[in-house]
Structure 1
Amino acid sequence: MQITLENPDYRYICRGVSAAGVMVNTREITRSFLLGPNVLVENWALSDMRIPDPTAWNAVVELKPALFILGTGSIQIFPEPRHLAYFLQRGIGFEVMDNAAAARTFNILAQEGRNVVAGFIVSI
């Protein structure tokens, strides 16, 4: 029986989530960030879902995802409907979940080769 290592077709994977941050590959990121299968944008402008910065959404759109997953920290916090509308008007799917669920969902969709971007809110 031959065993070979099969590397994924993408660079980034979420390996864990804690109260302090999100483990991406071998590094724990402790500030809000955007993650695509082949892109990592650190120090994302969105750090508190209760006061969303509209310019933070522009950074997501620039990555041209088909689906945007928003991880809102340790609990799921839904943004106002106008924020959802921002993405839907641009033809981008939008899902909201806590960071742990967002990490799991991102990994599955990245493995399927989907054009997904996840935004993780990490409070300092």
Structure 2
Amino acid sequence: MKLHADKPDLHTINAYGDGWIAINGQRHTQSLILASSGELLPWACERFEDLEPAHFEQLLSCSPVKPELVVFGSGPRLRFVRPGMLECLINQRIGVETMDTLAACRTYNILAGEGRRVLAALLIGT
């Protein structure tokens, strides 16, 4: 599926498919962190089962601008992490929305296009 940006100066998810996401036309096959403030970083976790609190703690230092919301893409299907893993974000009053990665891509584009301070943490693998 192809997506089109309302604001071309933002990192925008243009397309996605099984095992990949295209951001500003460049295809990515590894999990990543994407911030509306401009950061695009690899996220060193390929599988949902490998997630640890440290993966979510990493999100706090990804952007110089504190996000108001983290959109967590859990992979090809919706899966929720234990609440304790999100404690670092909750303590900083950062909201967390969990959805499958494809829905997270669409949601990130909408929120970033509205000028919201959003960060997407996307598991691209299984």
Whether 1:16 aligns to 2:15 is yes
For residues 98 and 86 of structure 2, the distance between their equivalents in structure 1, rounded to whole angstroms, comes to 10
Which is higher, the Rg of structure 1 or of structure 2? Answer: 1
Calculate percent identity across the aligned residue pairs.
29
What are the within-5 Å matches in structure 2 for residues 12-91 of structure 1? Answer: 12-37=11-36, 38-42=38-42, 44-62=43-61, 63=63, 64-91=66-93
Aligned-partner SS, 2:106: helix
Report SS of the residue matched to 2:84: helix
Give the aligned residue type for 2:31. S
- Corresponding residue of 1:3: none
- The one-letter code sitting in structure 1 at the alignment partner of 2:122 is F
Return the offset for 1:9. 6.7
Runs of 4+ in 1 over 4 A off after TM superposition: none
CA drift of 1:91 comes to 0.8
Contact 1:32 1:45 in 2 (8 A): yes
Q: Please, which runs of 5 or more residues in structure 1 have no aligned partner? A: 1-5
**How many pairs are equivalent?**
118
CA deviations on 1:24-77 (whole Å, 9 max, x unpaired) are 1101100010001211012x1222222213222222111221100110111011
Change (3 A) 1:104 1:58: same
- Distance in 2, matches of 1:10 and 1:102, equals 20
Give the structure-2-normalised TM-score. 0.84
Q: TM-score, normalised by structure 1?
A: 0.85
